[in-house]
Amino acid sequence: VAASSAVDADQLLEAAQGGDRAAVARLLTMVERGGDAAAAVDRVAFGQSGRACTVGLTGAPGAGKSTLVSGMIGVARRAGHRVGVLAVDPSSPFTGGAILGDRVRMGDHALDDGVFIRSMATRGHLGGLAVATPQAARVLDAAGCDRVVIETVGVGQVEVEVAGEADITVVVVNPGWGDAVQANKAGLMEIADLFVINKADRTGTAETRADLEQMLALSQGDRPGGGRPAGIVTTIATTGEGVAEAWSAVEAAAEDLRTTGVLDARRRARTEAELHRVLGARLAEQVADLAGGEAFRDALDEVQGRRLAPWDAADRLVRLGRVPGDG
Amino acid sequence: VAASSAVDADQLLEAAQGGDRAAVARLLTMVERGGDAAAAVDRVAFGQSGRACTVGLTGAPGAGKSTLVSGMIGVARRAGHRVGVLAVDPSSPFTGGAILGDRVRMGDHALDDGVFIRSMATRGHLGGLAVATPQAARVLDAAGCDRVVIETVGVGQVEVEVAGEADITVVVVNPGWGDAVQANKAGLMEIADLFVINKADRTGTAETRADLEQMLALSQGDRPGGGRPAGIVTTIATTGEGVAEAWSAVEAAAEDLRTTGVLDARRRARTEAELHRVLGARLAEQVADLAGGEAFRDALDEVQGRRLAPWDAADRLVRLGRVPGDG
């Protein structure tokens, strides 16, 4: 299975690089599934990725992220970029929440071959979205997207983690008391490179900006790998107002991180964190393999009968467990 | 190290069973540390445990849990039980929050050899409190406590998980709008065998009872292993009012679960879940071992240089990884 996955992945990536959208979709599905298929895809995509700038975009549900991303895609396309979008919804294993956003955006970009939009689901991937998302971004990168937007649907722990896996992190808030405070509570002050106050035609925009500035001043120096303080821009995504400026701010922040060496430091730190996570995911797959087997049932019977302690049972199973890649 | 831990654990448990409180404390410290020492303790404690009734007690900070538990200890002691208490605070690795509660209770039971109270900390245990707490409860059980109360400081995910690891789960709420709703949101309706409305001299007690009854009616049938609907009692822990009745309700619920076979079914399910968790913890220890080693640094260098994909690096490390218990 592993060998045929590898051949598949190789051929699929070649097809994807030639513009075959179905091949991109199949590669992403393999990544979502995890296990040997995901490893096979990453084996071929990893070496051919690293060119794209990845942009994480997060914010509370209803902040207008989908409309903003749709507008940003348009701006990036006019600048000649090929754009991949991963819409990540940790709360929905079947992408229910994300699909709605897709439809909004697909309406604008459905006929554009330079745009690839995908809702990410875990489909039982034991490493979860935190493991699958960077791999999926690499597939889009290797397939020729030089800008990859990773959009998450909320501001929970997983969303913040996923959004922080990008080169640049954009946090979308709305005017009004409390939104900035929520962003602070969720740990977004530490990871944001840019705040977009969307729906800036509403009252409270100036106050929200002031709140953000104050909290940014307090959290300075906390950001991983350093980098300049987060910028703040205002948009009205529904009319397009400020969207080009917001995208320019993203590009400028990326350029700044690149020239100061911060981007490289961040990528190194991310790679190390990813290796830890992938290692954990591989071992978790071992647990799942072991737990599904006869040896696990036998050990469990002995534990239930109090003849074997759980730790001894675990050690026996680990000794029996096959190592991925050996078979 | 593993062999000497085993000898230590054996001798310590014998001393603990003879009434040596310092031996109990040392065994619990070994459990908290995880790794081979914890395995050695569990190896000896597991076979000699299973007699105690374990009572998980959870509720929002400030609900009066410590005072209630102190009162319950007194009632249980008068009925001839030996009582162990584990105060679990997942938010504080150094038990800062739990210690305050200890002092309250220690004042009442400091001179009683039939009571053992301990704040649980993780101290780097990779399986976390969810793995360490059931083992610590077994130590108290094997040491002769026939009632073990596992008190958690809040109603977060970990607290609910830890409280649910007991034979009987008690949820402490206070009168007032919202507390019952919070309990429902936190998933407590599904795990509670008994609700205690503490501070019942405050207004809103009847309304809170009505709220709980309504939510219990809606969540019936969700409880793991079945069992009768959760009871509701009222207490004023500071004056002792209702505390004896609350403890009687705990004992009655335990007896009911025992005679209907639900307790046995729950324990079997818990044992299976625990074996999964311990297996995961053992493999996590492997990750930590691997990540600290030279092979990890070498693999990381190759990944940073894009010469090796993270999944291939992980698989190579897993193949190199020593299996716990082999050395």
Q: Of the spans A171-175, A243-247, B58-62, B103-107, which averages the highest pLDDT?
A: A243-247
Give the model confidence (pLDDT) of A262-282 as tens digits.
998 888 888 888 888 888 777
pLDDT of residue A123: 54
Using CA coordinates, name the residue in chain B closest to A271: B304
Contacts of B268 in chain A (CB under 8 A): 304
Is the distance from CB of B151 to CB of B66 less than 8 angstroms? yes
Contacts of B282 in chain A (CB under 8 A): 311, 314-315, 318
What's the rounded Cα separation, in Å, for the pair A102 and A119? 7
For residue B193, pLDDT over 60 is answered with yes
- Quote the ipTM score: 0.72
For residue A181, pLDDT over 80 is answered with no
For residue B45, pLDDT over 80 is answered with yes
Return the closest-CA partner of residue A277 out of A137, A122, A129: A129
- Least CB–CB distance from B47: residue in A38, A306, A313: A306
Give the model confidence (pLDDT) of A212-261 as tens digits.
888 888 776 555 556 678 899 999 999 999 999 999 999 999 999 999 99
Q: Binning pLDDT at 50, 70 and 90, where does residue A205 land?
A: very high
Give the model confidence (pLDDT) of A36-62 as tens digits.
888 899 989 998 998 999 999 988 888
Q: Binning pLDDT at 50, 70 and 90, where does residue B110 land?
A: confident
Which is more confidently placed, A229 or B180?
A229
Which is more confidently placed, B185 or B88?
B88
CA dihedral A104→A108→A113→A119, nearest 10 degrees, is -10
Using CA coordinates, name the residue in chain B closest to A127: B311
Q: Do A309 and B279 touch (CB under 8 A)?
A: no
What's the rounded Cα separation, in Å, for the pair B168 and B228? 12
Q: Do A306 and B268 touch (CB under 8 A)?
A: no
For residue A182, pLDDT over 80 is answered with no
Region of poorest pLDDT, from A75-89, B121-135, B276-290: B121-135
What's the rounded Cα separation, in Å, for the pair A125 and A316? 25
Tell me what the mean pLDDT of segment B38-67 comes to.
90
Contacts of A278 in chain B (CB under 8 A): 310-311, 313-314
- pTM, 2 dp: 0.60
Q: Nearest-CA distance from B199 to chain A in Å?
A: 31
For residue A99, pLDDT over 50 is answered with no
pLDDT of residue A324: 40
Tell me what the mean pLDDT of segment A180-201 comes to.
82
Which is more confidently placed, A87 or B147?
B147
Q: Do B324 and A318 touch (CB under 8 A)?
A: yes
Q: Do B276 and A291 touch (CB under 8 A)?
A: yes
Tell me what the mean pLDDT of segment A52-81 comes to.
93
Using CA coordinates, name the residue in chain B closest to A50: B306
Contacts of B307 in chain A (CB under 8 A): 47
pLDDT of residue B324: 40
Region of poorest pLDDT, from A65-69, A191-195, A218-222, B316-320: A218-222
For residue B142, pLDDT over 80 is answered with yes
- Least CB–CB distance from A309: residue in B43, B283, B319: B43
What's the rounded Cα separation, in Å, for the pair A149 and A132? 15
- Least CB–CB distance from A279: residue in B38, B304, B317: B317
Q: Do B287 and A304 touch (CB under 8 A)?
A: no
For residue B95, pLDDT over 70 is answered with no
What's the rounded Cα separation, in Å, for the pair B179 and B202? 13
Q: How far is CA B91 from CA A95, B138, B152, B228, in A?
A: 32, 23, 10, 32
Q: Do A43 and B309 touch (CB under 8 A)?
A: yes
Contacts of B133 in chain A (CB under 8 A): none
pLDDT of residue A131: 79
- Least CB–CB distance from B278: residue in A272, A284, A314: A314
Region of poorest pLDDT, from A204-213, B174-183, B227-236, B272-281: B174-183
Q: What is the DSSP letter of B241?
A: B
Q: Do B304 and A276 touch (CB under 8 A)?
A: no
Which is more confidently placed, A109 or A23?
A23
Q: Do B43 and A312 touch (CB under 8 A)?
A: yes
| Best B133, B283, B300 residue to mutate vs chain A (most A CBs within 10 Å) | B283
| Best A275, A286, A308 residue to mutate vs chain B (most B CBs within 10 Å) | A275
- Least CB–CB distance from B319: residue in A46, A50, A325: A325
Structure-block tokens of residue A164: 């922080």
Handedness of CA B23, B27, B33, B39 (dihedral sign): positive
Let me know if B110 is exposed, middle or buried by CB neighbors in 10 A (0-12, 13-18, 19+): exposed
pLDDT of residue B106: 56
pLDDT of residue B221: 56
Q: Do B284 and A283 touch (CB under 8 A)?
A: yes
Q: Do B318 and A312 touch (CB under 8 A)?
A: no
The chain-wide mean pLDDT, for chain A, equals 83
Q: Nearest-CA distance from B244 to chain A in Å?
A: 34
Give the model confidence (pLDDT) of A279-319 as tens digits.
877 777 777 777 778 888 898 999 988 888 888 888 888 77
Tell me what the mean pLDDT of segment B195-208 comes to.
94
Q: How far is CA B29 from CA A310, B9, B122, B166, B280, in A?
A: 18, 11, 9, 20, 21
Contacts of B31 in chain A (CB under 8 A): none
Q: Nearest-CA distance from A46 to chain B in Å?
A: 6
Q: Binning pLDDT at 50, 70 and 90, where does residue B186 land?
A: low
Count of Cβ atoms closer than 10 Å to residue A221 Cβ: 8
Count of Cβ atoms closer than 10 Å to residue A71 Cβ: 25
Using CA coordinates, name the residue in chain A closest to B317: A279
Q: Do B271 and A317 touch (CB under 8 A)?
A: no
pLDDT of residue B96: 39
pLDDT of residue A327: 34
- Least CB–CB distance from B309: residue in A42, A290, A304: A42
Q: Do B325 and A304 touch (CB under 8 A)?
A: no
Phi, psi for B98 (deg, rounded to 5): -75, -30
Q: Nearest-CA distance from A56 to chain B in Å?
A: 21
Using CA coordinates, name the residue in chain B closest to A288: B276
Q: Binning pLDDT at 50, 70 and 90, where does residue B174 land?
A: very high
